[in-house]
Amino acid sequence: MARTLAVYPFPAALLALGWLRLEEPRSRGADWLWVALLALAPALAPRLWQRLALTPPAALVAAWVALDSPATDDRPGFFAPVAGRFSDGVADFYDVTVPFAGAAQPHMHGVVVLATFGFCLVLAHAIAARRPLPALLAVIAGAGWPAALFPARSVLYGAVILAAALWVLAGLRVTRAVPALVAGAVLVLAAAGASTSAALAKEGVVAWEQWDASGPAREPVSVSYVWEANYGGIEFAENQTTLLRITGPERGLYWRATTLDQFDADRWLESPTPLSTGVARGLLPEDPLLPPRSRDPSTWVEQRVEVAGLRDGHVIAAAQPVALDGPGLGNVFRLSDGLVRVQNGLQRGQTYVVQSFAPDPEPAQLAELGASYPAELHRFLDIGRTRVDPFGTPNRDLLVDRLFSDERYVALWPYEELWNQAQRLRAGARTPYGAVVAIETWLRSTGGFTYDETPARAAGVPPLAHFVAEGRRGYCQHFAGAMALMLRMLGVPARVAAGFTSGKREDGGWTVTDHDAHAWVEVWFPGHGWLAFDPTPGRGELAGTYSASSTGFNAGDAADAFERPTGAEALGGATELGRLLELKERLADRSAAAGAEADGGPSAFWLLVLVVLAAAAAIGAAKVVRRRLRYLARDPRRVAGAARRELEDFLADQGISVRPSATPEEVRALVHRELGADARPFVRALAQARFGPPAASAAAAARARRELRSLLRVLRRSFGRTARLRGLVSLRSLRA
pLDDT tens-digit readout, 140-199: 888 878 877 777 655 677 778 878 888 887 888 655 555 555 555 555 555 555 444 443
Whether residue 607 is contained in a domain is answered as no
Give the other-Cβ count within 10 Å of 594's Cβ: 10
Q: Do residue 147 and residue 256 come from a single domain?
A: no
Quick one: 259 and 388 in the same domain? no
Please report whether residue 608 resides in a domain. no
Single-letter amino acid, residue 481: G
Q: Looking at the structure, tell me whether residues 51 and 155 fall in a common domain.
A: yes
> Do residues 136 and 97 both lie within one domain?
yes
The closest of 525, 224, 174, 597 to 380, measured between CA atoms, is 525
Q: What is the average pLDDT value for the chain, to the nearest integer?
A: 81
Residue 27 in any domain: the answer is yes
Based on the fold, state whether residues 140 and 41 are members of the same structural domain.
yes
Q: Residue 572: is its pLDDT beyond 50?
A: no
Print the domain residue range for 484.
Answer: 364-496+520-591
Domain shared by 536 and 652, yes or no? no
What percent helix, strand, coil does the chain show, rounded to 5? 55, 15, 35
Give the pLDDT of residue 608.
62
**Residue 533 is assigned to a structural domain of this protein:** yes
How distant, in Å, are the alpha carbons of 502, 514, 705 from that of 311?
Answer: 19, 11, 48
Q: Kindly report the pTM of this predicted structure.
A: 0.57
For residue 609, pLDDT over 70 is answered with: no
CB-based contact 651:727 (threshold 8 Å):
no
Number of domains in the chain: 4
Which residue, 188, 107, 91, 92, is CA-closest to 147? 188
Given this model, what pLDDT does residue 122 score?
Answer: 92
Q: What is the pLDDT of residue 678?
A: 86
CA distance 205 to 319: 47
Residue 305's pLDDT band, with cuts at 50, 70 and 90, is: very high
137 and 45: one domain? yes
Return the pLDDT at 613. Answer: 76
User: For position 137, what pLDDT does the model report?
Assistant: 86
- Of 653, 691, 688, 656, nearest in space to 671 by CA: 656
| pLDDT tens readout for residues 81-93 | 777 778 777 776 7
Count Cβ atoms below 10 Å from residue 41 Cβ, excluding itself: 16
Whether residue 368 is found in the same domain as residue 353? no
**Whether 617 and 712 share a structural domain:** yes
Asked whether residue 205 falls in the same domain as residue 309, the answer is: no
712 and 662 inside one domain: yes
- Out of 327, 346, 361, pick the residue that ends a domain: 361
pLDDT at 453 over 80: yes
Q: What is the pLDDT of residues 644-700, one digit of tens each?
A: 888 888 888 887 888 877 888 888 888 888 887 888 898 888 888 888 888 888 888
Domain stop point among 538, 561, 591? 591
- Examine residue 306 and state whether it is found in any structural domain, yes or no: yes
- In-domain check, residue 506: no
Do residues 411 and 344 both lie within one domain?
Answer: no
| Range of 35-44, 103-112, 374-383 with top mean pLDDT | 374-383
β-strands 321-325, 473-474 pairing? unpaired
Tell me if 513 is assigned to some domain: no
CATH number at residue 421: 3.10.620
Other C-beta atoms lying within 10 Å of the C-beta of residue 605? 8
Overall average pLDDT of the 520-547 stretch: 91
Q: In this predicted model, what pLDDT tens digit does every residue of 308-352 receive, in sequence order?
A: 989 999 999 998 999 999 999 999 999 998 999 999 899 988 999
Using the 3D structure, point to which of 326, 361, 396 is the last residue of a domain. 361
Cis bond leading into 374, ω under 30°? no
CA distances from residue 449 to 210, 360, 453, 473, 575 in whole angstroms, order as listed: 44, 28, 13, 6, 18
Percent share of the chain, pLDDT over 70? 82
Does 486 have pLDDT greater than 60? yes
Assess contact for 148 and 167: CB atoms under 8 A. Answer: no
Q: How far apart are CA 624 and CA 430, in angstroms?
A: 56
Q: Is residue 504 part of a domain?
A: no
pLDDT for 592 beyond 50:
no
Model confidence band, residue 443 (pLDDT cutoffs 50, 70, 90): very high
